[in-house]
Structure 1
Amino acid sequence: MRARQVVHGFQRLLPQCSQVIREGKESSISAPDLVVGDVVHIKSGERVPADLRLLHCIQLRLEASSITGESEPVEYQSEEVSERFSVFEARNVAFNGSLCVEGEVIRVGENTVIGQTAKLTTGQEPNGSRLEAQIRKYVKFLIIMACSVASIIFIFGGFVHHWKDVTHLLANGFLVCAIGMVPCGLPATVTSILTLVARRLANRNVYVKRLDICEALGQVSIIASDKTGTLTRNEMTVTGLWNFDGFINGYPQSEHQLTLNSFGSEGIPATPTTAPPWTLRSIGGNRFPHPISDILTCMSVCNTAVLNLEDEDKTTEIKKEEHRKVSRADSLKAVLWAQSSLRGEPKHFNVSTINEEEETIKSPISSDTIEKGIENSQQKKQHRPIANKRSIKMSQKHSTAIGTPSEVAILNYAATLINVHKCRQEYEDVAFEIPFNSKRKWHLKIIRMGVQGEEAEYRLFIKGASEVLAKMCSQILTKNGIKEFGRNKGIEELEAAYTEFANGGHRVIGFAQTTFRAPVDIEFSLDVGNVPLNGLIFLGVCAIMDPPREKTKEAINSCKTAGIKVFMVTGDHQLTACAIARQIGLIDENGGKIEIKNGGGKNNLPEEEGKPWEFDPKNDWAVVQGQQISRLTAEQWDQLILKKNSVVFARTTPEQKLFIVEQCQKRKQIIAMTGDGVNDAPALKKAEIGIAMGSGSEVAKQAADIVLIILSIDLGTEIFPGISLANEKPEGDVMARPPRAVNKVLISNGLLAYSYIYTGQIQSLGCFLAYCYVFWCKGINILDLPFSALNCWKKGGDIFKSNGLEFSVEQQLLIGRQATSAWQMGIV
């Protein structure tokens, strides 16, 4: 019962939540609270919480091997099928427990990014723990020794007894000796100690899946940690913008005078300029000049987060059509289509198609409130670059967003300035979308704007890593129009802005767009090559701040004191990662600014690849970009892993994370890998200890070591001493000691010699003396005992004579039992 309670306690540490659309609003609820009729939104890396009828999906692939028996992920669709197909053949029902490996993809099978990541994860051999390997080695040694000694005793007894009564010899000679040499209490003791450790970790919100992993924690020499959500709070906020005309600290002004902080090379703000009136553009209820209006539009439209409006004081009746989540427009259209049993998809839906009467919902903010002037949120007149770590607190009193932290931060920033719902309604006809992933590093959405005959006008919005977007752009939008963009034509300004932001610990997200014409019925596809990814118009960037956790610096110092190296492995840019690393004490705060000397530009914005570089021997830390990992030599890896105490790996892909783990293992390092995303799964599974965040994806949690195995055993005399040792308080300097050596085994040769030669011989001698003492007390000469068991000391035996005394068979059996009891008491 106690073990079962521990298991249930661990299970409570991992609540399962689902994203549900109810009454036009998307919210997060517990999976057991789902009811029939709920509209559920599943994302990549999540498990399906119930049997779901797919209403809308784009090349969705689910892994349901435990249900369907198909080992590979299968593509599912939302179209209606004939009744003659079973629910398993229809491919439009997602089964409870299935794993969503990808949705809204541009490639399928192993060619998809998630497919490649899944292949990296599933293609690995299961990692056996070091404790398991050591116990297996120890058990093999004991089996060989026990069988050898037992065989010698059995053969010797056979010769003495002239091979009579072989069964008796086998039972009392061979088996007793073999079993006696095996430490039967070892499994119970080890399991009990590890269970106690697992429960202690559970009290500290650490969920352990495998008991044998607890032992390996003491040997960890390297901790490779993701940055976002692990070392930082994962509470992101947009703190400012940059475009070709300068910095914007906080929020821009609308409609009147737009003051831009244009900084020169020496950081001195230039004279504020006034935006020409003809550049103002109405967007979401407010008017902003180019390119501010375009950036806010891209923030709102090219965003998967969902904004739910709330207000305690003001409520306004609005039709559900106005509150529809435009970012999920196609999904909700499919929902209404399914519920109204209509054929085809109407252009507009009314709530009356469901309930036959017009329903309304309460919106917390009135139109006047949404379309208010931005003057109330103007920043102080003293302007400066955002890289000066100025904290801008955004008021989220009137809105809550659901999505990834960076998407939510961007959407909240835009919602503070404009009416996001109106903006999304203007761009609701989504023709094509490519979601963000850690390998592409961008998110693209194509909107169908207007139809003229057989052609339509399309607008492409894209956001992502600014250095990646910069390679796709040939023009840049300014307040005075469009200009050429390239080396000596805006790249340097972008590099300077990026450096300023990143050195302040900000994540930088770039925005770009373009407009083009194409056939109305075109089906966009990257494989076909009809998606424009070159010649785009660069708009600007935003800075997102994710502050470090309060106790991160203290934890880093504790690891350094214990001799544990800490590696930061992140997908963020090198400058951003280094800024956070300085703040948490991972690298030297006085090390100066990091400059990436790789190619023509220090921030690696152009496409040229630079020359190999070397580590600074003066520093005990190093910084490595993802694209440089493949160019490192074996000597450089030795220097990096064995001589550096801290390393920052930036802009890494799932393959590179896996490669980092493999390089550490080749150098006999015990590595603990932490992560929470699908892209972390290969490295989590490869590492000796995979640690997934509780809020991470199901794929990451399954790849990590997070299942608890508990055995309820009570062996009294052996288990309680082990438990007492486990409950003993650690020494005060335990964290000042280095990790256990890799070659240090569970049971050393010295311990074996002590147990079987020194302690074992003393214990055997004591038992033998206790055995002989019984015969001595009965007046029997010990020298008369050898080989007497051949004729005496058994039923039907002869009378035994010693020291002039005669002992009957009954007396012999009684004395023999007493001597055997004395032997057993000596063992205990």
Structure 2
Amino acid sequence: MLNNSGPRYKRSQIEQQMNIDVIWCVIILIILCVIGAIGCKMWLASFVAASGNNNETFRIPYLPFEINPDYEGLLAFWTFVIIMQIMIPLSLYVTIELCKIMQVYHIHNCIDLYDSQTNKRTECRAMNITEELGQIQYVFSDKTGTLTENRMIFRRCTIVGVDYNHPETEEEKELTKIGGPVPYLQPNISLVENLNQTIESNQLSGSAEQIQEFFLVLAICNTVVVSATPHKDHMNASGVIELNDSDTSVTLVRPVVTDAIANGTDPASDRYARLTESRSITPSPPPNAPTSLPLKQTHVPSLSPISSSAETSPMSESPPMKLKAITPTARVKSLVAKLPKGPFKSNNKNKFNMNSVKFPKSLSQGSTPSDRRPIFEAESPDELALVNAAYSYDCCLINRSPNHVLVNVPGEGVVEYEVLKILPFDSNRKCMSVVVRKTGTQEVILYTKGADSSIMSSLAPCAPGSEEYRLREQTQHQLNVYARQGLRVLVMAKRKLDATDFSEWYSQHQECELSMENREKKIRESFGLLEHNLTLLGSTGIEDRLQEGVPEAIASLLQSGIVIWVLTGDKTETAINVAYSARLFNPQMDILRLTARSRDSAEACINFYLNEIEKQLNDVDYSIRSDRDKGRALVVDGKTLTFILDLRSNLTKPFLQLTKYCSSVLCCRATPLQKAFLVKVVKEELRMSTLAIGDGANDVSMIQMADVGVGICGQEGMQAVMASDFTIAKFRILEKLLLVHGHWNYDRLARMIIYFFYKNAAFVFLLFWYQLYCGFSGAVMIDEIYLMIYNLIFTALPPLAIGVYDKKIIDDLLLNYPRLYRHGRLGKGYKSYTFWIVMLDALYQSLVIFFVAKAAFWDSDVDVWVFGTTITSSCLFTMLLHCAIEIKSWTILHVLSIVISIGSFYVFAFAYNTVCVSCFGLPSNYWVIHMSMSTVQYYLITALTAVLALLPRFIYRVVENTVWPGEGVRVTLQYKEEKRREPPITGLRIRL
């Protein structure tokens, strides 16, 4: 976990726009200060012109010192910077952070964002982009584990061209309803009979050997290990490891065997021992790590041809471990949980009988054979489903070490295979292979499984019309049927290798692994030297059902105007079937398919669709016939995607132009790097706000590239969660996270920022108007202490109330009318011109406040402090009433914020004017508030200025909501009307 980099620092769109407006505030401040400095110089210079004195310094009446206009103008500039610095809203950033902390708190504790099945709630890992959830335009989603449950169930397989179905049982239906574990596979009767015939025959035929090797691939071509205790993940979504005292033990388990087994002998018996380690705090070991079966020390092989001894295995490089040796037969029986008695037969009485073994209590967890099955730990649910399927047909993985794998093969019993090399899966090859040799033989075999696009193209050539050719066509047809049913398709194949050739390849491959340049490419090419001329064994179809609520969530997101891209590594037919099930596609949509096999054909296909769409848009008859836009969906296969994303092809921009006409896009056979690149080009070329959601390590690059990254706590580790900005338990939670909390956070923050700019600017303009009557001297009519605590106390709470608790639209309406999300998606709450409208409004209100007070006190002997206190009171009331007009949902917190703001001003003013006679060595407003409030003028000026200043805004809001109401206002009014028309509940009696 120490090597995991956290999510990068991100800024929301509204924050970026706000920073630009803050720069405009600085420019406005500089303009005001320059005007003030010039005014000061001109006012002082006027005395020179009047007196006829051409000296650089001169005396002004009533000033006891000589004045230099240029010098005083420069000083006046910095004086104005000090008294008007409130124009730069530094406290705005503090207020925003407080708002976001509270928004994160409400998201974290929202009961609707909690999943009871997994006992996980939504967590915010990036606290600075909560409002960006309300501006998402594109959603990029993984499929497996994100849209689906990632509960892989073996459904169908084809072996030697014969399709074997495994339909859902009643037990599966019940477990699915309650969210239980994946049920045991019920074997297919026909396949069981074929296996029994294979076992009964003394010599394996070609088809019988393929059946046996098919299940052997399922059992050993993986990284699954056998454990004594089930793995428990103690890391939560926040990355914190929670341990119990009982979870840190490592124990040795003594195998229990019968007397007959204990007396068995074997030449290699000293190489085996039993070590069972608790996996409570560690994940399943990778393929190159020691497992529960340590082996005796071996040496690195020479480059000579492979011998039959285990000591010459290319993979035999594990460190020595000295453990008590027992016989291999006893070791086997102590490792394997008792297999259920099934219909499988055995043609050799000397073969290992699994049902005769006694087991340790740690492996015997129940009274039935199914309760005592081995505990398999896999890196992916696909491999676990395949191993469990092989187990159901008596092909049981018993134990795995770095260099050996032990498996019970139907008809042969327990067989040990020497692992010579593992060719791990990568997204470019789309397959995984293992090179093994049966202990005691010279035969080297490569077993592989992977995508049909990879395996089928790597099969050995065969003549058209031959039996092998017919078998491949039949298998491909069955693969397409599986894909159309939404099953995940894998193809199994093998290749027999010459021992000498493999030894030469191994030495060359080691050079590739040690290469310092293009290592990955060389290794991939080296793998390709083995993974060709394959022999087809069969294929599988694995079911991965959609999560609950996914179709409804995707439909709502599409209705909100969000464009959804699903990026998957699955076969095209499988992905399309899932897209229809998830309501990403609907039957009314026009489905555009890009399935090119060259760069030129991809370009021609894209241009064809663009021309057709432009013709439709320009066709008047088409527009009249279409009552509403049916929508378009785009499907791109992996080969075409490679051409499009190649920068040399110049197809990226035409492709993005085509996607702009589509409401949903499905990219198949996409690699992790391609996923990240798609997010990058959409974000940079189309300049759209993007969200990426995934659950596995292959989604990390995509999540980190997007503006908002969402990780799902799935079954594929914590990598996606650790790299994300937000963590959720299920995909359906994304609907409310965006449509409700995203909308609220964006709308609240936008209106709070606008209000903050307004109140600061209006206050600064008041100070500026006074300079017209004091010779631009930098004097102020408001006490300095009021200037300091104006933002700190008097006007601090109302912006917080708006930014945290105001609701323009209630959550039920936001979910029932997803189109309301467009308010934030299109950025309507905070446009670039909004700042200038606010500045004009602040300018107008400051003019009203200042000159109404000036007119009221015209030709009177009122002093500057009474005048300033009256203006301060009028300004405060005007700003708080302005806030009241902008509040959309009144709560007790909104009322308290305004009442406390007014109360704090008067409490402080009375205390300050009463106690402080001459504070800070400066003349103060002693008893000024008392004198001001004792006159009628104070109340008339305060009321009149508030009404005149807010009248234009009030009239605008009334006309807007009455004549041109927005969609949110219409929906809210309709909802209130329906609630009003509901008949009252009668017949209730309340007893006090």
Residue in structure 1 matching 2:256, options 317, 325, 333: 317
Matched AA of 2:494: Q
User: What is the correspondence of 1:579-618 to structure 2 with a 5 Å cutoff?
Assistant: 579-589=577-587, 612=605
**What's the CA shift string for 1:209-250, capped at 9, x where partnerless?**
333322222121121110011111111111121123310112
Q: What is the RMSD computed on CA atoms of the aligned residues? A: 5.2
Q: TM-score, normalised by structure 2?
A: 0.54
Contact 2:565 2:666 in 1 (8 A): yes
Q: How many Å apart are 1:542 and its aligned residue?
A: 0.9
Alpha-carbon distance in structure 2 between the residues aligned to 1:462 and 1:147: 71
Residue in structure 2 matching 1:503, options 462, 471, 484: 484
- For structure 1, the residue ranges without an aligned partner over 5 or more in a row are 1-46, 48-96, 101-120, 260-272, 376-393, 477-481, 601-607, 786-808
Call closer, same or farther: CA 1:349–1:669 in 2, change over 3 Å.
closer
Q: How many Å apart are 1:622 and its aligned residue?
A: 2.2
Deviates more, 1:443-452 or 1:591-600: 591-600
Q: How many Å apart are 1:719 and its aligned residue?
A: 4.3
1:755 aligns with 2:753: no
Contact 1:209 1:706 in 2 (8 A): yes
SS of the equivalent of 1:408 reads helix
Matched AA of 1:548: L
**What's the CA shift string for 1:86-138, capped at 9, x where partnerless?**
xxxxxxxxxxx2359xxxxxxxxxxxxxxxxxxxx99xx97643233212211
SS of the equivalent of 2:40 reads helix
Alpha-carbon distance in structure 2 between the residues aligned to 1:715 and 1:246: 78
1:243 aligns with 2:326: no
Contact 2:436 2:444 in 1 (8 A): yes
SS of the equivalent of 2:193 reads coil
1:415 aligns with 2:354: no
Contact 1:294 1:539 in 2 (8 A): yes
Matched AA of 1:723: L
**What's the CA shift string for 1:688-734, capped at 9, x where partnerless?**
222233446665455543599xxxx9944444323322312341543
Contact 1:302 1:445 in 2 (8 A): yes
Contact 1:474 1:484 in 2 (8 A): no
Call closer, same or farther: CA 1:654–1:290 in 2, change over 3 Å.
same
**What's the CA shift string for 1:341-370, capped at 9, x where partnerless?**
xx997999774279xxx999976833xx35
Residue 809 of structure 2 corresponds to 731
Contact 1:432 1:445 in 2 (8 A): yes
Residue 398 of structure 1 corresponds to 373
**What's the CA shift string for 1:587-621, capped at 9, x where partnerless?**
12577999996679xxxxxxx99984765967622
Deviates more, 1:548-557 or 1:619-628: 619-628
Residue 644 of structure 1 corresponds to 662
Contact 1:770 1:819 in 2 (8 A): no
Alpha-carbon distance in structure 1 between the residues aligned to 2:467 and 2:16: 63
Alpha-carbon distance in structure 2 between the residues aligned to 1:706 and 1:643: 29
Alpha-carbon distance in structure 2 between the residues aligned to 1:593 and 1:321: 59
**What's the CA shift string for 1:252-296, capped at 9, x where partnerless?**
45997339xxxxxxxxxxxxx9779548769xxxx9933221111
Alpha-carbon distance in structure 2 between the residues aligned to 1:365 and 1:435: 28
Deviates more, 1:294-303 or 1:699-708: 699-708
1:300 aligns with 2:219: yes
Q: How many Å apart are 1:439 and its aligned residue?
A: 2.2
**What's the CA shift string for 1:469-523, capped at 9, x where partnerless?**
11111279xxxxx97644xx33321221111101111001111112222248653
1:705 aligns with 2:691: no
User: What is the correspondence of 1:442-453 to structure 2 with a 5 Å cutoff?
Assistant: 442-450=431-439
Matched AA of 1:407: E
Contact 1:296 1:414 in 2 (8 A): yes
Alpha-carbon distance in structure 1 between the residues aligned to 2:725 and 2:82: 39
Matched AA of 1:623: V
Matched AA of 1:654: P
Contact 1:317 1:360 in 2 (8 A): no
Residue in structure 1 matching 2:446, options 460, 466, 470: 460
SS of the equivalent of 1:143 reads helix
Matched AA of 1:551: G
1:433 aligns with 2:426: no
Alpha-carbon distance in structure 1 between the residues aligned to 2:848 and 2:927: 19
Higher relative strand content:
1
Matched AA of 2:445: R
Contact 2:449 2:490 in 1 (8 A): yes
Residue 291 of structure 1 corresponds to 210
SS of the equivalent of 2:86 reads helix
Contact 1:475 1:484 in 2 (8 A): no
Residue in structure 1 matching 2:343, options 373, 376, 379: 373
Contact 1:241 1:542 in 2 (8 A): yes
Q: How many Å apart are 1:149 and its aligned residue?
A: 0.7
Contact 2:679 2:702 in 1 (8 A): yes
1:661 aligns with 2:679: yes
Matched AA of 1:621: A
1:131 aligns with 2:14: yes
The structure with the largest alpha-carbon Rg is 2
Residue 550 of structure 2 corresponds to 552
Call closer, same or farther: CA 1:727–1:592 in 2, change over 3 Å.
closer
Alpha-carbon distance in structure 1 between the residues aligned to 2:604 and 2:841: 63
Q: How many Å apart are 1:581 and its aligned residue?
A: 0.9
Residue 258 of structure 1 corresponds to 194
1:98 aligns with 2:3: yes
Contact 2:138 2:562 in 1 (8 A): yes
SS of the equivalent of 2:20 reads helix
Call closer, same or farther: CA 1:256–1:776 in 2, change over 3 Å.
closer
Residue 84 of structure 2 corresponds to 178
Residue in structure 2 matching 1:623, options 625, 635, 650: 635
Call closer, same or farther: CA 1:636–1:185 in 2, change over 3 Å.
same
**What's the CA shift string for 1:525-571, capped at 9, x where partnerless?**
25667952221111001111110011101101211221112111111
1:331 aligns with 2:308: no
Alpha-carbon distance in structure 1 between the residues aligned to 2:717 and 2:848: 60
Alpha-carbon distance in structure 1 between the residues aligned to 2:931 and 2:499: 96
Matched AA of 1:416: S
Q: TM-score, normalised by structure 1?
A: 0.63
Residue 496 of structure 2 corresponds to 515
Percent sequence identity over matched residues?
A: 19
Residue in structure 2 matching 1:693, options 708, 712, 718: 712
Residue 670 of structure 1 corresponds to 689
Residue 985 of structure 2 corresponds to none
Matched AA of 1:299: L
Contact 1:254 1:374 in 2 (8 A): no
1:352 aligns with 2:355: no
Alpha-carbon distance in structure 1 between the residues aligned to 2:687 and 2:320: 63
Contact 2:493 2:534 in 1 (8 A): yes
Q: How many Å apart are 1:302 and its aligned residue?
A: 0.7
Call closer, same or farther: CA 1:516–1:129 in 2, change over 3 Å.
same
Residue 25 of structure 2 corresponds to 142
Matched AA of 1:420: L
SS of the equivalent of 1:627 reads helix
Alpha-carbon distance in structure 2 between the residues aligned to 1:400 and 1:723: 54
SS of the equivalent of 2:497 reads strand
- For structure 2, the residue ranges without an aligned partner over 5 or more in a row are 45-66, 114-120, 167-186, 231-253, 263-271, 277-283, 298-310, 346-368, 399-405, 409-413, 510-522, 614-629, 645-650, 729-788, 869-917, 947-992
SS of the equivalent of 1:230 reads coil
Residue 721 of structure 1 corresponds to 798
Deviates more, 1:721-730 or 1:531-540: 721-730
Deviates more, 1:555-564 or 1:763-772: 763-772
Q: How many Å apart are 1:156 and its aligned residue?
A: 2.4
Call closer, same or farther: CA 1:728–1:249 in 2, change over 3 Å.
same
Alpha-carbon distance in structure 1 between the residues aligned to 2:589 and 2:853: 72
Alpha-carbon distance in structure 1 between the residues aligned to 2:712 and 2:849: 54
Residue in structure 1 matching 2:473, options 484, 492, 495: 492
Matched AA of 1:409: A
Q: How many Å apart are 1:399 and its aligned residue?
A: 4.2
Alpha-carbon distance in structure 1 between the residues aligned to 2:864 and 2:273: 106
Call closer, same or farther: CA 1:302–1:475 in 2, change over 3 Å.
farther
Q: How many Å apart are 1:373 and its aligned residue?
A: 3.0
Q: How many Å apart are 1:406 and its aligned residue?
A: 0.8
